[in-house]
Chains A and B, each alone.
Chain A
Amino acid sequence: MRRETVVDLAPNHKTGLTLANPVMPAAGCFGFGTEYARLVEVEALGAVVVGPVTAGPRRGAEPPRTLPLPPASGGTGERLPPASGGLGGVLLHTGLANPGVAAVVRRYGRAWGRFPVPVIVHVAGTSPNETASCCWRLASVEAVAGIELGLPDTADPDDVAAIIQAARAVASQPLIVRLPLARAEWLCEVAVEAGADALTVAAPPRGTVWHETRFFPESLVSVPTHFVTGRLYGPFVHPLALRALCRVAKLAPVPLIGCGGIYSVEDGLAFLRAGATAIQVGGALWHDPACLARIARSLPPAVEPW
């Protein structure tokens, strides 16, 4: 059953971006939308966020790309039993593997048109030119209701303004900007001034791990030796992202999307109480695809900011 709640992520944009409820998957976790077709009740969600996409094809990072992090003690999600190995997290380094925006639209555009909820495409905003190229290609795709722009983790205010303005100049859809976690507070006002209709707080933090070549008989896995840097996923991200959103909420006069370490209804509620209009669920989706619909159905119709 569809919730009555309606949120608008782009009230100042000519088309707006209204969602029947505030829950959606996070970019980089949901593929291009078709991978989870048999496992996720898309109609229960507010929207789906697909991608990332880049202007041209990218082969992505060399393996290994997925490195399980050492388990933490305690801290379980709502459905997870006390962990036999504890709950840790994972470092993921894909190198933005994707076939390029043109191929993505060709392969998935028709499927997006059949989705019962708005489709938001995440564009990796690596440079103003590449961003503009992607947004220009997406501007004419009717099935794309919004664009979420990812920023480089090292972006400074000038970079952010240039990338967003380049996107704004060609994009016809509402523009959501996903802020790097460590710089969210510093960059949020610039992002809004440059034309962001909404902000996602925040991108997963980055980390580096040293991994030795080891064979794990229990998982039939061999992992080679070297440093690997990538994005970190796990429940430990939640307090970091929540702190960032609390600070951004005081500065940015646009709708905010809370993202980071959401593994339960309570995690999502914390973001909404902190001022988020919507939430994105990331790594929890991999462990339990059904959690997206469960969280969407369990959230109360209205949450007053604290």
Chain B
Amino acid sequence: MVQTDALVTGVEQIAPFVRVTLAAPTVAAGLASGRFVLADLGGYLRTPLFPARIEAEGFDVLVPPGHPAAMLRPGYEVNIIGPLGRGFEVPTTARRLLLVADTAHLLVLLPLTRPRNQVFRKKPGFSSSVALLLSAPTAAELYPIRHLPPALEVHVVTADGSAGHQGSPLDLFPDLVRWADCVCIASDPTTYPALAETVREVRMLPPLAGGDRGGVQALVMPPLACGVGACQGCAVQVARGTKLACTDGPVFDLLELR
């Protein structure tokens, strides 16, 4: 964990998002899906930024056009603190990874969709696959599917039916969770109780070896003040009390969340 200035090396429109590329080798080395940095973007509290793509020399973030990071331009420097938090942990024994996201949170899971990030570190010939259940109110608000890796199996749900299945992600979730042996969720936490209920109903297998946060992991990100566990301000309710999103999370066992 360091506090450093990251150089903005690129800004690109990927409607309906803006992709910002930051050069920060010392931070990027420790980043992973679900881990984050706190960026000084001018507000009283720092803004959490999750990497959508991680390279050796830096990382990309994807933000909506109104986000403070969308105002950055190449050549700017942004003071960041990171890497912070505990990210998603895909057990080495997992074969079928299901990613569940609404369009606002998809960026958090994007590193898990890319083969070069070696989600599955397997022996040669090991067969594995990744599916994504992606939801948005309308097709216009969807992350462009063409930017996702071709090998990724994508299930789209829109509330108005303008793309993919019309309805709620809960319509497709039961079948997909039966198929998966590891699930990573980044969505509006108000949907989590219903997702957890489905996981309990389909009696998903107990946690796979290699992780202590269960087979179904979910991102919860309350507002953060310090980001290092000093202020005790980012408590998340879990089965036996509270945990801190900044140091214990922001990725938790879905079935542990309350």
Query: A-side interface residues toward B, CB under 8 Å?
Result: 28-31, 35-36, 38-39, 59-69, 71, 79-90, 92, 94, 97-98, 213, 215, 217-223, 233-234, 283, 285-290
- Chain A residues lying within 8 Å of B79, measured Cβ to Cβ, are 288
Per-residue CB contact flags for chain B residues 105-119 toward chain A (1 = under 8 Å, else 0) read 100100000000000
- Among residues of A, the one whose C-beta sits closest to the C-beta of B244 is A97
- Is A290's CB under 8 angstroms from B3's CB? yes
- Among residues of B, the one whose C-beta sits closest to the C-beta of A96 is B232
Contact of A85 among B1, B48, B68, B186 (CB under 8 A): B68
B6 to nearest A CB, angstroms?
A: 15
- Is A35's CB under 8 angstroms from B222's CB? no
- Is A63's CB under 8 angstroms from B237's CB? yes
- Is B44's CB under 8 angstroms from A63's CB? no
- Chain B residues lying within 8 Å of A38, measured Cβ to Cβ, are 1-2
* CB-CB contacts below 8 Å: B92-138 with A: 104-105, 108
A36 to B70, CA, bound (A): 29
- Is B45's CB under 8 angstroms from A221's CB? no
- Is B3's CB under 8 angstroms from A83's CB? no
- Is A88's CB under 8 angstroms from B44's CB? yes
- Is A60's CB under 8 angstroms from B242's CB? yes
A265 to B108, CA, bound (A): 38
- Is B104's CB under 8 angstroms from A92's CB? no
- Among residues of A, the one whose C-beta sits closest to the C-beta of B36 is A220
A64 to B220, CA, bound (A): 12
* Max chain A Cβ within 10 angstroms of own Cβ: one of B63, B81, B108: B81
Instruction: Knowing A29-B226, A286-B226, say if A219 contacts B48 (CB, 8 Å).
Output: yes
Interchain residue pairs A-B with the least CB separation, the first 3: A31-B230, A66-B233, A83-B42
- Is A31's CB under 8 angstroms from B40's CB? no
- Chain A residues lying within 8 Å of B45, measured Cβ to Cβ, are 66, 68, 90, 286-287
Give the number of chain B interface residues (Cβ < 8 Å). 48
- Is A31's CB under 8 angstroms from B222's CB? no
- Among residues of A, the one whose C-beta sits closest to the C-beta of B1 is A38
A81 to B68, CA, bound (A): 12
- Is A219's CB under 8 angstroms from B231's CB? no
- Is A288's CB under 8 angstroms from B71's CB? no
A209 to B173, CA, bound (A): 37
- Chain A residues lying within 8 Å of B81, measured Cβ to Cβ, are 39, 289
- Chain B residues lying within 8 Å of A234, measured Cβ to Cβ, are 44
* Max chain A Cβ within 10 angstroms of own Cβ: one of B1, B43, B47, B71: B43
- Chain B residues lying within 8 Å of A213, measured Cβ to Cβ, are 190
Please tell me if B10 contacts chain A, counting CB pairs below 8 Å.
no
A-B contact list, 25 entries, CB within 8 Å = A31-B232, A35-B229, A39-B1, A59-B242, A62-B242, A65-B222, A65-B233, A66-B223, A66-B231, A66-B233, A67-B223, A68-B45, A69-B44, A80-B40, A81-B42, A84-B41, A87-B44, A97-B232, A97-B235, A220-B50, A223-B222, A233-B225, A283-B225, A286-B227, A288-B3
